[in-house]
Amino acid sequence: MGSRLAAPGPQERRFAAYVEGLAEAAGHADRHTPLKNYCKGLLLPGERKSVEPMAARLAPDNVRRMHQSLHHFVADAPWDDEQMLAAVRRQVLPALEKQGPVVAWIVDDTGFPKQGKHSVGVARQYCGQIGKQDNCQAAVSLSVSTWSSSLPVAWRLYLPEVWCQDPERREEAGVPEEVEFQTKPEIALRQIQQAVEQKFPVGVVLADAGYGNGTPFRTALTKLGLQYVMGIESSTTVWRPGQAPLPAPPRKPGRGATPKRLQRDADHQPVSVKQLALGLPATVWKQINWRQGERGMLRSRFAAVRVRPGHRDDKKTEPHAEEWLLIEWPKQESEPTKYWLSTLPEKTSLKALVKMAKHRWVIERDYEELKQELGLGHYEGRGWRGFHHHAVLCIAAYGFLVSERNRFSPSARVGHVGLPTPEPLALSRSDPGVLSKNVH
């Protein structure tokens, strides 16, 4: 049975206009139709969002030709994924900002479990999706977020050292020559630097302890003029409130140059944030509500004190500036469970600190939907270009969902979005095609 002809609905017209806004980033005019088809294939229902099943859903009467078109577009065509992300950002950010200003830039990484050793960047490493070390790929992202919505605006594969040092594997996977080994914080910092250079709407930088543990990373953010709320581990050292390293001693007569470095001694040392937290008086701990969750209001017990980080300050001539140490200690736990350092202003309330620290949850929501509904981890090719192209197109499709949802108030979130789909697919006639379940 052939497809019924019908005038496109308002949402379909908005989708066509959205993809048209991305067309220039795809380059050659021959890529415009595959771009639209690929994004539509990601948005249509279906368990797998790799090329072959998408081709079957998009063109059930001519799967082979559609497969060739989609595969060439994602794996081989030389369009620039950063330009595509910029085009997505130009269209979606105004929709986000209609519901409120950008408040945060969120750094994160995510893993994709893989079999074998040929997919670009695959190695035995920590995989957040399964919560342990395993064979996987990992990518670093930067997202911009309002209080109600967020959008990834930068995306880069983490290439382990074993890959960077293997010319044969690099060539086979098409890794660009200029790509050298970078740690995840180094990749994230470059993404943030580019966001500053391109004058993104500024937000407080949020990240977990994988990034916040690094003093150089936090220092670089401050030098860029950015505030942060960063997770840290319990072993991180700080000076107790009101304390700092000792000043350099006076120069002794006839003993050369005047000492400049700060000092410590046996009785004057920084302590771990865990040790500091365990010694705080009961009066500083407050019960704070920060967000309505699926099962009611989210709340826990927190304290915040002003401290100076203690990392290597005996090698410095000036102490680290004071910042906030935020600590979470749920009443039912025997010790604190989470710690953050923050350069938010000294007058910031405890509730505002907690709300910002906990706002990093939105990236988990994004990744859940990008993976479960839009097939972020479904790409079956092995090359650098295809990996990045597929991810950016998933983000482009997600950007359309974000724009659609922000047409309404955040409290009236769109539960699903529909586009027409070829009739031979196994859908009921009353269902125009569910694009994405509401995961909020």
Q: Is the pLDDT of residue 420 over 70?
A: no
pLDDT value for 427: 31
pLDDT value for 314: 57
Residue 327's H or E segment, with its range, is: strand 323-328
Question: Quick one: average pLDDT of 102-122?
Answer: 93
Q: Which of 58-72, 116-130, 314-328 has the highest mean pLDDT?
A: 58-72
Q: What is the CA radius of gyration of the chain?
A: 25
Tens digit of pLDDT for each residue in 325-372? 999 999 999 999 999 999 999 999 999 999 999 999 999 999 999 999
Residue 185 has φ and ψ, to the nearest 5°, of -60, -35
Mean of the per-residue pLDDT values for the chain? 87
Inter-residue contact 182 to 332 (CB < 8 Å): no
DSSP of 23-81, one letter per residue?
A: HHHH-SGGGHHHHHHHHHHHHS--S--SHHHHHHHH-TT-HHHHHHHHHIIIII----H
Map residue 386 onto helix, strand or coil: helix
Tens digit of pLDDT for each residue in 167-213? 999 999 999 999 999 999 999 999 999 999 999 999 999 999 999 99
Q: Is the pLDDT of residue 433 over 50?
A: no
For residues 104 and 224, what is the distance between their CA atoms, to the nearest angstrom?
15
Map residue 367 onto helix, strand or coil: helix
